[in-house]
Amino acid sequence: MSAPLRGIRVVEYAQYVAGPLCGVLLADLGADVVKVEPTAGDGYRHVMPVAPGVGRHFLPLNRGKRSVVLDLKTERGRHDSARLVRTADVVLHNYPPARARAFGLDWEELHAAVPRAVVGVVTSFGSEGPLAAAPAFDLIAQARSGLLTSHASPGDRVPVRAGGIPMADLTAGFLLASGVLAALLRARETGVGERVEVSLLEAALAVQLQDLVWLEGEAVGAAPRVADRSQLEERAAEIAQGVAMNPYYRCYAAADGFIAVA
């Protein structure tokens, strides 16, 4: 395989799934990825370990990377981190805004130190708004987005993550990698980096795009007009039964004789 990112250095501060997935995709394309870990290591090192300090899920998300331990809670750790960042073409992290500022990884400080660098950020619910500081894992993002119940089976009492797959995490990692590559192209032209952000909530919604528009082959807003009120209510009930577990759609018998799907 070719290595189009050969010569590009990525400094990754991310843990668990989404950020590390972005990093490993860039490493697969030839980038030199330096993973910065806290003193206890990436949290995934300790989940289902296959060897001391090496978790089963950690391996596929961090292969091809080099690793260094820095304690960003100390002045020495932040000093060494700043030196490392100055060598970067891309910086990745998944810290909430306040933690990023405390560690010297907020956009303003990074851009001032390394104007050419692209900064890729994974957040839970975005970096602005009432949930900006709220932490979240994949399951929480799936629940808030409705993904947990968007394809539930009849009779389900408890929402179950489809296939046990962390879909929000994985989608966020792919989306972030795509955005970082686009920003690298722009930086090559302008010499100035940009900030790319993907939230787990946005990623969970992104994989449901067709559900947001279509309902069992019927375009939303194109439900048939029914003249008889009883037929209208019966038809609305039929549609509603098929999407009872779908968080997006509720069917109503509208006063003008149409079935409203909303």
Residue 219 covered by a domain: yes
Catalytic residue positions, numbered: 169
Mind listing the pLDDT tens digit for each residue in 197-226?
999 999 999 988 766 655 444 444 444 444
pLDDT 10s digits, 108-140: 999 999 999 999 999 999 988 898 888 888 988
Same domain, 201 and 221: no
Same domain flag for 228 and 149:
no
H or E segment and range at residue 261 = strand 259-261
Write the burial class of residue 7 (CB in 10 Å: 0-12 exposed, 13-18 middle, 19+ buried).
exposed
Q: Which of 159, 189, 206 is the last residue of a domain?
A: 206
For residue 81, give the CATH number of its domain. Answer: 3.40.50.10540
The mean per-residue pLDDT over the stretch 6-24 comes to 97
Using only the alpha carbons of the chain, give its radius of gyration.
23
Range of the domain at 51: 9-206
pLDDT tens by residue, 225-248: 445 556 656 655 555 555 444 544
179 and 244 co-located in one domain? no
Please check whether residues 173 and 244 belong to one and the same domain.
no
Give the pair of three-digit tokens for residue 125.
């619910």
β strands within 52-194, DSSP E? 54-55, 66-69, 90-93, 118-123
Q: Is residue 43 part of a domain?
A: yes
